[in-house]
Amino acid sequence: MPPSKLQRFKEFSEYLNVAEVEYRRDSQLQEAEFDSLEKWYAQVDDGRRHYIPFLRDQCGVKFSGRVLELAAGSGWMSAEMSRMPEVTEVFTLDASETLLQEIAPNIFLYLRAQEDKITRVVGDFHRLEFEDESFDLVTVDGGLHHAVCLSAVLAEVFRVLKPGGEHVAIREMITPPLWFKRTSSTRRRLIAAGVTENMYPIKEWRTAFEKAGFSFWARRVNLKTNWLARLNEWLFNGLFHCRYVLLGAKQKGGSIS
């Protein structure tokens, strides 16, 4: 199988958080959670891959054609999408060349990606150097909350999607209605390193998607397999914590503003 290709955007936007790129290059891979490939493989195996059947079967997401994954980091989602016969091309974009060069190729091998379909792109999601209306699907896993300017990113996603295309965001930071402002030690460490960590209530996510031109809907996620955990999630997801899939559809006839 030929290896995935690597491309670079000509320039980053004025919104790029340089401190975050430096953190991913200089410190992240030294931290206890990320200092060996085995730990990256364990993260990929932490249950996040269950999102793929959830998106397809319960959210009606069509994985097909030309797809773009933003803020892809390890690229696990690109790897999964590349194996789908209906997906013809996958662009795996991240601002961190380190992650795309040192981690993603190993994850592609680990997940048996179809690498000849994948192009890794070092670039900034605030300014996408892709043609208008050139993707069927744009996905992101835990990336939009790192945007310095969310409206710029969503406007770009809307621009590069074909009419009828969809934007799917999973594992974003959503402020629950009953939130006691607890901040995890991981989040505190990231903020101290200069990483952008934005958290918005679902209403603000909706407004941001709609302002970009999308029809928006959010779907509560419950991927638990144990019945007690499922019940717990059913009762409390949306109150004390918010695990939602965010979906934006670019309706046919929707215009680029």
Which residues are near ligand SAM by CB under 6 A?
Answer: 16-17, 20, 24, 71-74, 76, 94-96, 99, 124-126, 141-143, 146
Q: From residue 39, how far is each of 101, 178, 187 by CA, in Å?
A: 17, 32, 19
Q: Which residue is nearest to ligand SAM (CB)?
A: 73
**Which residue is associated with the tokens 């980053």?**
12
- Tokens representing residue 227 in the block: 């019945």
Q: Which residues pair with 8 in a beta bridge?
A: 122
Residues ≥6 apart with Cβ < 8 Å to 79: 107, 108, 110, 111, 112, 113, 118
Q: Please, which residues bridge with residue 244 across strands?
A: 220
CB of 55 to ligand SAM, least distance (A): 14
Q: Supply the minimum distance, in Å, between the C-beta of residue 20 and ligand SAM.
A: 5
d(CA 44, CA 230): 21
Q: What is the smallest separation between the CB atom of 24 and ligand SAM, expressed in angstroms?
A: 5
Structure tokens at 201: 């209530």
CB of 118 to ligand SAM, least distance (A): 15
Distance CA 195, CA 122 (A): 18
- Whole-number minimum distance, CB 36 to ligand SAM, in Å? 15
Q: Which two tokens stand for residue 214?
A: 């999308």
Quote the longest CA-to-CA distance of the chain: 51
